[in-house]
Amino acid sequence: MSTTTGCGASDSHASRSCSAKSSMGALLCFDMNNVRYITSTHIGTWAQDKISRFTLLPQRGRADSLGLRLGGAPSPAATARGSANARAPVSRSMRGAMTPEMGRAEDVAKKIRIELEKRGLHKEPLGVDVIEPDVMLALQRGGHRHRRRPRS
């Protein structure tokens, strides 16, 4: 987080404060250390290098823990109870185990775009920490442009 925004955020509150001052509409994070800073949620070493779970920190408001759930969907019972985990089915390329024609990168990009549109941020610059190239390309095909982080 600190290298991305240069604000040295150390918890979710600080992350939100930084985000509000940023020129980015939202910050998309796949690095689980950043996810932990932003959401105060740690889901273990299982997810540490998968580049598959992510969170979206909008310029204002709370981070959305899209895809933070670990593997698979919640049980039907959890869904029925309206659990917070009953959202956002898993999307991932599984580090290349899913081939491009399976369309999982497009699925990730679509879900991210839906969340951005909900907040009116889909035309704003989107920051990312680390990202699989096919997901980045899918985001670009959906209208997002990327640029390198300006030197501080």
Partner 1 sequence: MSAMMVDAAYYDLYKAMKPGMRENEAVALVAETVATTSGSEYVEGVNAISGERCSPHPHRLLRSRHCGQATRSTTTSCIRHGVSHLLLPHVRDRLGVARTRRRLQAVPRLPGCVDRADSARAGSRRRSSSVWPKAQEFGFPNEEAAFALQMGHGIGLAIWEKPMISRLVSLEHPHEIKPGMVFALETFWPSTDGWSAARIEEEIVVTQTGHEVITRFPAEQLLVAGAPFVTVGGTLPIDPRDRSAAQSARWSR
Q: Is 20 in the site for partner 1 (CB under 8 A)?
A: no
What is the separation, in whole angstroms, between the first and last Cα of the chain? 14
Q: How far apart are CA 101 and CA 105, in angstroms?
A: 9
Interacting positions 127-146 with partner 1 (CB under 8 A):
none
| CA 148, 34, 122, 143 torsion-angle sign | positive
Alpha helices in the chain (DSSP H): 2-5, 12-21, 32-39, 76-80, 104-118, 133-141
- Going residue by residue from 58 to 87, which x/- string records binding to partner 1, judged by CB under 8 A? -----------xxxxxxxxxx----x-xx-
Q: Counting contacts by CB under 8 A, is residue 23 touching partner 1? A: no
Nearest approach in angstroms of CB 125 to partner 1 is 29
The answer to whether 80 and 47 are in contact (CB under 8 A) is no
Which parts of 34-63 interact with partner 1 (CB under 8 A)? 42-46, 48, 50
Nearer to partner 1, 59 or 132 (CB): 132
Enumerate binding residues for partner 1 (CB under 8 A): 42-46, 48, 50, 69-78, 83, 85-86, 89-90, 94-99, 101-104
